[in-house]
Structures are given as structure tokens and as C-alpha cells.
Structure 1
Amino acid sequence: MDLFDRTRDHVLALFRIVIGFLFALHGAATLFDVLGGPATGKVPAFAQWPSWWAAVIELVGGGLVALGLGTRWAALLCSGTMAYAYFVVHQKIGLFPMENGGESAALFSWSFLLIAFFGPGKWAVDQVIGRSRQAEPAGVAG
């Protein structure tokens, strides 16, 4: 077993944590006008479609992915959100991400899709919860 095989789950976990954290920061910037504020220049009104909802998914979904809690489903939702952003917002400006400003949407979408299919790697809250459930004696309801 070589170095790449031995460290795969650890590197995947670091990838998950960084991507989730960066995504959550986008949501926080949009919702709370922090960290440079929203990309559009103004905070969306409560429940405004799709800006406010996308920011909530970024903040909550990114946080869940970073923590490794409900990772695969959260990552799939985040991936779909960024695919929607790319095709609905960016694609009408130009065909390629370099033309339409959709590089981050495309990268986030594919990154989250990778996490959804490959799983959280090491250090995920899901793994800790799974271990504690396995350690419960038989017949004890949690």
C-alpha cells in the first residue's frame, strides 16, 4: 500500500472540511453582510427567491459538510444548488465559466458531487455517531 492509498481518507476529509467551510463563508457573507459582503452588493430580503435560499443552503449545507454531518445528502443539495446557479444565472451570460463568471459555481458543484459520491473521509461527525450507536447494548433504544 503506497502513500496515496494510506492517506486517501485523510485527504478526502481535509478536502471536505475546506470546501464546506468556504461554502459556509459564502452563505454567511450573503446573509449577514460580513467577510466582504454578498457578491451582488446587497443582502437579499428574507425568503427572497433564489438569493436568500441559496445563501441559507450555502451556510447550513456548507457547515454540515465541513462537520461531516449528513455529509452525502448535504453535499448533494449543495452540488445541485451550484449547478442551478451555474445554468440559470451564469450560463445565459456566456458558454464557458471564464466568460460568464461561473468558475466558483462550477467548482463548488463538482466538488460537492465528488464528496456526495466518495463520502466524508475521516473525522466526520457521522462516524462518531455511528460508532456510539454500534456501542449501545442490544435492546437499548436511543
Structure 2
Amino acid sequence: MSARLNHAQPYVLGFFRIVVGLLFAAHGAASLFGILGGAAGTDGGTLDAGAWPGWYAAVIQLVGGGLVLLGLGTRAAAFVSSGSMAYAYFHVHQEHALWPIQNGGEPSAMFCWAFLLLVFTGSGAFGLDRLLVRRTATRGERVPDQAPVTA
């Protein structure tokens, strides 16, 4: 049983990355453009360009989520995204109450930890990172370090 689970690990990790990236990018798109059923601005519309910190957070969500979704620069995009969610939790939500269930910071906390996991695991299966690594390896060029995938 354990061998089968280990064999499926990169694929499950790839699906996890895709779902987390999609949800994060959708949140950014909703905040920036008012699409996908969301309107995150304080006036019920989109965020004003350059408004601190919301507009910058939404750009990180859209771009970082898109990169994670595609599995392109996954570790770097996940690192920046995790940091932005840590900032959101500690500087936006925690001032209202200590626990995420009390202060509305559950999504920020969950995204923060999910992206931190991806920093250490990499993109898993189905990511563009892996395609680029394979293409580089077939040309005989130096291959960047990747987390080992257990088979």
C-alpha cells in the first residue's frame, strides 16, 4: 500500500499545486477586475490601482497563483505568495482577534501554509518546471536542482 501511495505522490502534489494556484489566481482576479463572482474593494468594486496593501496583494495573488497553477517558477512564486499571505494574516486579520476563526484569517493562513509546502516540495507532476528541466537535460546543459521525486 505504501509503495502505491509513494508512486502517486508527484501526481497528487501536482493536482494540489494546480488547485491552490487556481484558487489563489481567481482571488486576485476577483479583487483586481471584479470577475469570477468577487468584488473585494471597500466600495463593493475593484481595488484602486496602487492602493496599499490590497492592490499589491491582488497582483501577487493573480501572478503568483498563475505561476503556481502552471508550475512555472513554482518555488519562487510560492515563496512570495506565502509571504504575502503571512503579511495579510499578521497585519490585516490578527489585529481583530487572535484566532483565524475569529478574525476571518483562515484563507490567509491556509494559503500561507499551502504555499510554504510548495516551496519545499516543488511543482510535482504536470508542471512546466519539469518540462523545462527535461528539455535542458536532453541538451546536455546543467540541470537546476529539483526536489527528488520518490517512485
For residues 100 and 137 of structure 1, do their structure 2 counterparts lie closer, same or farther at Cα, with a shift above 3 Å needed? closer
2:56 aligned partner, one-letter code: W
Q: TM-score, normalised by structure 2?
A: 0.87
Partner of 2:19: 18
Partner of 1:104: 107
1:132 matches 2:135: yes
Partner of 1:29: 30
1:46 matches 2:49: yes
Structure 1: stretches of 5+ with no match in the other structure: none
Which residue among 76, 80, 95 is the counterpart of 2:79?
76
Verify the 8 A CA contact 2:34 2:40 in the aligned structure 1.
Answer: no
Flag as ranges the 4+ runs of structure 1 deviating above 4 A. none
C-alpha RMSD of the superposition: 1.3
For the residues of structure 2 that align with 1:106 and 1:42, how far apart are their CA atoms? 25
Tell me the CA shift for residue 112 of structure 1. Answer: 0.3
Percent identity, aligned pairs only, is: 51
- Measured against aligned partners, the alpha-carbon deviations of 1:55-113 in whole angstroms (never above 9, x if no partner) come to 00000000000100000010010000000000000000000000000000000000000
Number of equivalent positions: 138
Tell me the CA shift for residue 133 of structure 1. Answer: 1.5
For the residues of structure 2 that align with 1:81 and 1:38, how far apart are their CA atoms? 20
For the residue of structure 1 that corresponds to 2:50, the secondary structure is: coil
For the residues of structure 2 that align with 1:112 and 1:42, how far apart are their CA atoms? 28
Q: TM-score, normalised by structure 1?
A: 0.92
Structure 2: stretches of 5+ with no match in the other structure: 142-151
For residues 137 and 25 of structure 1, do their structure 2 counterparts lie closer, same or farther at Cα, with a shift above 3 Å needed? same
1:122 matches 2:125: yes
